[in-house]
Amino acid sequence: LSPARVLESCARAGGFKYAASVRLGPGGNMVTQSLRLNYPQTLARRPVITQLIRKFDVTVNILQAQMTLDEAWLEIALSAEQAEFDRALDWLKQEGITVVPVG
């Protein structure tokens, strides 16, 4: 097994709380990264994740979330080809979401 596959297997089995990996996909490098998305309250009711998935060729796994009157955040695992991953992160930031790598 490659190191990326071992890391993915351990993460799925609960061996790591967060994992990041790079593996070769059909078009290049595939990236998976755990991220914390901090929302301004003005975006808390907007379907940002749905829009993200529709606009970009990404896979999103929601790991944790909290939406209250004081704060709104999600922890996700985002997977995509490197270029698409970067475009998706840029879009999130342009929408006013603070993106913080986790782990």
Nearest to 17 by CA among 78, 71, 64, 82: 64
What are the tens digits of pLDDT across the range 16-36? 444 444 444 455 689 999 999
Query: Quick one: angle between helices 48-55 and 82-94, nearest 10?
Result: 140
Are 34 and 63 within 8 A, CB to CB? yes
- Distance (Å, rounded) from C-alpha 50 to C-alpha 70? 23
Instruction: State which amino acid sits at residue 48.
Output: V
Are 17 and 26 within 8 A, CB to CB? no
The predicted pLDDT at position 73 comes to: 95
What are the tens digits of pLDDT across the range 42-58? 888 889 999 999 999 99
φ, ψ of residue 65 to 5 degrees: the values are -155, 150
Instruction: Check: pTM over 0.95? Answer yes or no.
Output: no
The predicted pLDDT at position 87 comes to: 98
Are 81 and 30 within 8 A, CB to CB? yes
The predicted pLDDT at position 12 comes to: 52
